[in-house]
């Protein structure tokens, strides 16, 4: 939607106004409240305009960049989504790319304060990590591993890797608590689940690096 808006030092200028409020997500006719004077940058001016949503009465600010001092302003596409800082072990994506994807989604849910669902997502991330790791170790059993319960895989396939087995078991137990009506381990919480999961990922990534080193020295 185009709208003519008075900009200090520029006068009346045409701007494309967003249709949807970022707060209530309704399609509304924004009311402009204030605009900044133009700020000169390389290639054109920059202005910021504050709009009021007539539906929810909340404000939002949008930036517009001028194209080469032409008088044509383009809306800058900002993202107002929460960002989650995720620090995972190097090369863990080579063991399980899907683990990385799900873990990032879980961290994003946590960043939004969705505590009741992010634990379930971390539990799913753990299942992909452990199953993908076990499949790397036992590729001949891939189909069985995909269909088996996680607890059985941890018990049957990780005996040779006791530290990973212990961390995987603790992660699975706490992950299950996130999905059940009654928690079995009330002395632990989401932070403990993440700590065990990240520790398991660290050992698994280190095991991957050790396998790569073995291939290198045996060339």
Give tens-digit pLDDT for 180-199: 999 999 999 999 999 999 99
Domain check: are 20 and 119 in the same one? no
Domain check: are 106 and 60 in the same one? no
Of 60, 78, 79, nearest in space to 21 by CA: 60
Boundary (domain end) residue, out of 75, 105, 124: 75
The answer to the question of residue 183 being in a domain is yes
CA 109, distance to chain mean position in Å, is: 7
Q: What is the structure's pLDDT at 71? A: 82
Boundary (domain end) residue, out of 75, 103, 132: 75
Angle, alpha carbons 201-171-160 (nearest 5°): 65
Please answer whether residues 106 and 117 qualify as being in contact, where contact means their C-beta atoms are separated by less than 8 angstroms. Answer: no
Of residues 29 and 135, the one with the higher pLDDT is: 135
Residue 141's domain comprises 92-217
The answer to the question of residue 84 being in a domain is no
**What is the pLDDT of the chain when averaged over all its residues?**
92
* Residue 80 pLDDT class (50, 70, 90 cuts): low
Domain check: are 183 and 101 in the same one? yes
Q: What is the structure's pLDDT at 52? A: 94
The answer to the question of residue 82 being in a domain is no
Mean pLDDT confidence for 108-114: 90
pTM recorded for the entire structure: 0.71
């Amino acid at each position: 939607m185009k709208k003519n808006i008075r900009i200090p030092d520029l006068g009346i200028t045409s701007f494309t106004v967003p249709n949807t409020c970022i707060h209530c997500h309704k399609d509304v006719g924004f009311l402009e409240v204030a605009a900044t004077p133009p700020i000169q940058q390389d290639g054109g001016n920059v202005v910021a305009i504050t709009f009021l949503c007539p539906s929810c009465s909340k404000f939002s600010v949008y930036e517009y960049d001028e194209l080469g001092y032409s008088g044509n302003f383009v809306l800058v596409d900002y993202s107002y989504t929460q960002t989650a800082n995720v620090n995972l072990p190097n090369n863990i994506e080579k063991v399980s790319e899907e683990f990385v994807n799900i873990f990032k989604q879980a961290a994003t849910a946590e960043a939004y304060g969705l505590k009741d669902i992010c634990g379930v997502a971390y539990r799913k991330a753990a299942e992909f990590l452990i199953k993908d790791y076990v499949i790397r170790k036992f590729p001949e059993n891939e189909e069985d591993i995909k269909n088996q319960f996680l607890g059985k895989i941890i018990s049957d396939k990780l005996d040779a890797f006791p530290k990973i087995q212990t961390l995987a078991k603790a992660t699975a137990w706490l992950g299950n608590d996130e999905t059940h009506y009654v928690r079995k381990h009330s002395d632990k919480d989401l932070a403990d689940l993440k700590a065990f999961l990240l520790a398991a990922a660290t050992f698994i990534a280190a095991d991957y690096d050790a396998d790569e080193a073995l291939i290198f020295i045996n060339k």
